[in-house]
Structure 1
Amino acid sequence: MNSALSPRPPTLWEEGRQPARELIALAMALLLTATVLDLVLSDGLGLFYDLAFVTICVGVALLVKPSDFFPVGVLPPLAMLFVALLLGISEPGSIARSDDGFVQATVSGLSGHALALVFGYAACLALLAVRRSFLLRHPR
């Protein structure tokens, strides 16, 4: 069989076929699970949450279908803000001082996990850009 006529297997950049709605729901469920696990295992939100956040951002960027890149592209900062708001309202001592109000606790939580946000967001956007570029150069 001629290799030029046989279809090639999809590359990593072409694999993503999941709708954004499902991936965002899954990502938020995983992120909240990681948050709860980190709080159970330690006194506050820490490295486990940060690593889970970055991993989830990368996973979602690789799994989303090309027509749904935008919702996934804005997910990381909104997801981090959502978790910080939830903890700022319910358990401010996990991300800030216990006597801080929810606004101050939210800001402290965001600033305390800014490095994870930067890495997760940068990885997500970079992967989406690479996938878009690859798909434009290699249409199926």
Structure 2
Amino acid sequence: MSSATQRHRTLWEEGRRPGREVASLVVALLLSATVVDLALSAGLGLFFDLAFVSLCVGAALAVRPPDFFLIGVLPPLAMALVVLLLGISDRGSIARADDGLVQAVLAGLSRHGIALALGYAACLGLLALRRSFVEHHPR
């Protein structure tokens, strides 16, 4: 195709990264955001929540279509991983310091439930839009 007839790729077509690469990057950045948030405050707060939602959106836009499933299940697993790690290492950052591990993990997940719901909904919604676009506009 000549440059005059080339079609510009839309936002829905842009994601071309392998799912494992995107998932690894999301987990690394989420753990980094956790460390930054804990350095700025006594527990996980708004910074972590905003980073989580942003990373969910970014992952849904970056992944290639064959790897949609991996990214579709990533948000709750990534949140659970962070909360579990904090439950093991620093319970007071997600719950009361004297809570048991299971109680602390459940408390941490419930305290960040809105961010989890928003991030997961945004991720799944964007993946559904991208899938629909890919099905209706084959290359």
Range class of TM-score, shorter chain: over 0.9
- The residue type paired with residue 11 of structure 1 is T
Displacement after TM superposition at 1:101 (Å): 1.1
1:56 aligns with 2:45: no
2:65 counterpart residue number: 66
Q: Deviations over 1:37-96 (max 9, x none)?
A: 000000100000000000000000000000000000000000000001000111000000
Q: TM-score, normalised by structure 1?
A: 0.96
TM-score, scaled relative to structure 2: 0.97
Deviation at 1:2, TM superposition (A): 9.1
Task: Name the structure 2 match of 1:113.
Answer: 112
1:1-140 to structure 2, matched below 5 A, reads 6-140=5-139
- Do the aligned partners of residues 36 and 2 (structure 1) sit closer, same or farther apart at CA in structure 2, a change above 3 Å counting? closer
| Counterparts of 1:25 and 1:71, CA distance in 2 | 11
- TM-superposed CA distance for 1:7, in Å, is 2.3
Structure 2 unaligned spans of 5+: none
Whole-angstrom CA distance in 1 between matches of 2:23 and 2:66: 14
**Identity of paired residues, percent?**
67
Name the CA distance, whole Å, in 1 between partners of 2:102 and 2:90. Answer: 12
- Structure 2 Cα separation of the partners of residues 26 and 137 of structure 1: 29
What secondary structure, in the 3-state scheme, does the structure 2 residue paired with 1:6 have? coil
Across the two proteins, how many residue pairs are aligned to each other? 139
CA RMSD for the aligned pairs? 1.5
Structure 1 stretches of 4+ with a deviation exceeding 2 A read none
Instruction: Tell me which amino acid in the other structure corresponds to 1:27.
Output: V
CA shift in 2, pair 1:2/1:32, >3 Å: closer
Structure 1 stretches lacking a partner, 5+ long: none
Alpha-carbon shift at residue 136 of structure 1 (Å): 0.8
Q: In structure 1, what is the Cα distance between the partners aligned to 2:130 and 2:21?
A: 19
